Amino acid sequence: MFHGLFEEGDWSVPKRYGYGAGLPIAWRGWAVLGMYLAIVFATTLAPLAGVAVLIIAMTVLVLATCWLVVIAQRHARGGWRWRWGED
């Protein structure tokens, strides 16, 4: 199911200014972003269930954010570096 996450290729273009990746350019990039947004949305419901669920939800959110950063950095065209607009 997740074998496509380990394939080589560019899923996003670099930002013109600043550090990091821009919007996805491939369906896999959009799928990863969609999964991350679904996790973020699901964690907004956690405070309704109690403190224990909130702690678990925040842990899941931190792990999902780390996962998104690693995947986005691995599949960004040209890698991540500071850009001043000349590239």
Q: Return averaged pLDDT per consecutive 10 residues of the chain, 87 residues in all.
A: 63 83 88 95 86 90 94 85 78
pLDDT of residue 30: 93
- Please state, in angstroms and rounded to a whole number, the distance separating the CA atoms of residues 44 and 83: 33
- Please state, in angstroms and rounded to a whole number, the distance separating the CA atoms of residues 32 and 65: 11
Structural domain tally of the chain?
A: 1
- Give domain status of residue 81, yes or no: no
pLDDT of residue 7: 63
- Give domain status of residue 33, yes or no: yes
- Give domain status of residue 67, yes or no: yes
The residue range of the domain holding 68 is 26-76
- Give domain status of residue 51, yes or no: yes
Q: How far is CA 11 from CA 19, 22, 24, 26, in A?
A: 16, 10, 6, 5
- Give domain status of residue 4, yes or no: no
- Give domain status of residue 30, yes or no: yes
